[in-house]
Amino acid sequence: VQLQASGGGLVLAGGSLRLSCAASGNIFRIHEMGWYRQAPGKQRELVATVMSGGSTNYADSVKGRFTISRDNAKNTVYLQMLSPKPEDTAVYYCNAYARTYYDSSSRNYWGQGTLVTVSS
């Protein structure tokens, strides 16, 4: 499974930005898709996840500001970032817990990361 993220860049605090991540390959099923981020000098952390059925989970730090959504037909996950703050600056990584037609079980896949810089 290949994950291609896009949409990162420079955004002003209080603005908006939308990240996209499309999964491709011999996909049998994608159970969960999500976004993680890693700021300089910090560990990678969860931002938000969405299950195939639509249930979502958010880090407390982004609740009420970020919205994760998913288009199962397109194997694509989105992260709408509203009112971002400078502390949201990080490399954002797309994640999918998925199974291909060649695998007997599911595993985690990661995208290449996209840099989001929030300027005050």
pLDDT tens digits, one per residue of 53-104:
999 999 999 999 999 999 999 999 999 999 999 999 999 999 999 999 999 9
- pLDDT, one tens digit per residue, over 12-55 is 999 999 999 999 999 999 999 999 999 999 999 999 999 999 99
Is residue 54 helix, strand or coil?
coil
**pLDDT (0 to 100) of residue 97:** 98
84 CB-near residues (< 8 Å, 6+ apart):
11, 13, 14, 15, 16, 17, 65, 116, 118
**pLDDT (0 to 100) of residue 59:** 98
Distance separating alpha carbons of residues 93 and 89, to the nearest angstrom: 13
Q: Which tokens is 106 given?
A: 């599911």
